[in-house]
Amino acid sequence: MNDTTLQNLKLPVKALFTGYLLAIGLGLLMAGAQIMLTHGMADGKFGLSVDDIVYSYHGNHDGPNASKLESKLFGSMKDNAPPEVRMALLKWADAGAPASEWDNNIKPKVVEYCGPCHANTPGLANITDKTVMDQMTKRDEGQSFATLTRVSHIHLFGIAFIFFMVGWIFNLATGFNIWVKSFLIITPFAFLIVDVVSWWLTKMNPNFAWLVIIGGFGYSLASTVMIFTSLYQMWLLKSAK
């Protein structure tokens, strides 16, 4: 047995690989948490669903949540204003957010119930400003093509490099048929491509939303198998002499 297997690596190399794999594993967990707290709340309910994916990439073109304002009032901001105020805002937005009703009817409600946070907290949209509110009442079109282009190339470049390093370390594992090992190594890259391509497909057609979930689950599962296998063989598998 040569030294180019995980269990026979020198201690400094094991320490290097272990630190990297642990950091990447924690990064995957944080990425999952971030998805649950952003995309996972797109429909106003905790937990990732097909509707969340559709709302995030395709937008919510129909129904009561057709604008960002309506989505928030039905979702995460639902408990911050009494029902009659939410209904007044919803009817106003549904009517096209007419400027004639803003000063005397809508703005006082927004200032009272939304202003304490939105007008005073950095990072939150100041919706007491009519120009900002106009953006909130626009029809929800999901991610723009410019945003998808920017996020796609960052996602592909960054995550592909992570998968390269995880796959290179896992390549030193023993006990796997060469075809099984090759399949595990290529799987994250394949699902990464499926994931990113499905964003664009979902933007154009909401029926492709399932592919986003499949892509993310696929590369996460394959990466987890390789990470745990590599850690196990480095530290728990008896070294071959």
Tell whether 158 and 226 lie within a shared domain. Answer: yes
Last residue of a domain, one of 136, 169, 195: 136
Structure confidence at residue 1 (pLDDT): 42
Number of domains observed in the structure of the chain: 2
Other beta carbons within 10 Å of 237: 16
Structure confidence at residue 40 (pLDDT): 67
| pLDDT tens sequence across 28-56 | 999 988 888 777 666 566 778 888 887 77
Q: How far lies 88's CA from each of 22, 63, 105, 171, 215, in Å?
A: 51, 17, 9, 61, 41
pTM for this model (two decimals): 0.70
In a domain, 81, yes or no: yes
Structure confidence at residue 170 (pLDDT): 98
In a domain, 240, yes or no: no
Residues in the chain predicted with pLDDT less than 70, given as ranges, are 1-3, 40-45, 60-66, 139-141, 239-241
- Phi/psi for 149 (5° steps) reads -65, -45
Tell whether 98 and 158 lie within a shared domain. Answer: no
CB 53 within 8 A of CB 39: yes
Tell whether 78 and 109 lie within a shared domain. Answer: yes
| Residue 153, domain extent | 6-53+142-235
Residue type, 199: W
In a domain, 163, yes or no: yes
Last residue of a domain, one of 136, 166, 200: 136
CA 173 to CA 184: how far, in whole Å?
12
Last residue of a domain, one of 110, 136, 162: 136
CB 218 within 8 A of CB 159: no
Tell whether 149 and 230 lie within a shared domain. Answer: yes
| Helix 11-37 and helix 145-170, axial crossing angle in degrees, nearest 10 | 150
